[in-house]
Structure 1
């Protein structure tokens, strides 16, 4: 079973690739979403809190130990 850390990296990477694709094909405004993802990752490094981790825990994923 996938852990929270693995799922978080998978989701963040996927969302970044999707937003870059949308920026190239539809509108450069999608880069704001890419920036939001980056800022969320940066703030979670300092605060030790990430909304996606909270959600993944509710879905039953386990932490690495």
Structure 2
């Protein structure tokens, strides 16, 4: 799995976890979902994704350059 696909999978997993926490634990976990969305939005504009940096340091291969 490449860094790009792993970042998408990780973001999707975090959104699902945050929604579950919001439903079953506390409505304040909705802020976690907001944080994830804001991070995805800033990543789209700046190209900086903290999760991608961590995954690269863990040795995950980058995707093919087109």
Category of TM-score, reference length = shorter chain: over 0.9
Q: Distance in 2 between matches of 1:10 and 1:46?
A: 20
Residue 26 of structure 1 is matched in structure 2 by: 25
Normalised TM-score (structure 1): 0.94
4+ residue segments displaced more than 2 Å: none
SS in structure 2 opposite 1:61? coil
Q: Distance in 2 between matches of 1:6 and 1:49?
A: 15
C-alpha RMSD of matched pairs (Å)? 0.6
- Segments of 5+ residues of structure 2 without an aligned counterpart are none
How far 1:62 moved relative to its partner?
1.3
Residue 64 of structure 1 is matched in structure 2 by: 63
- Segments of 5+ residues of structure 1 without an aligned counterpart are none
Q: Distance in 1 between matches of 2:6 and 2:27?
A: 27
Query: How many equivalent pairs are there?
Result: 64
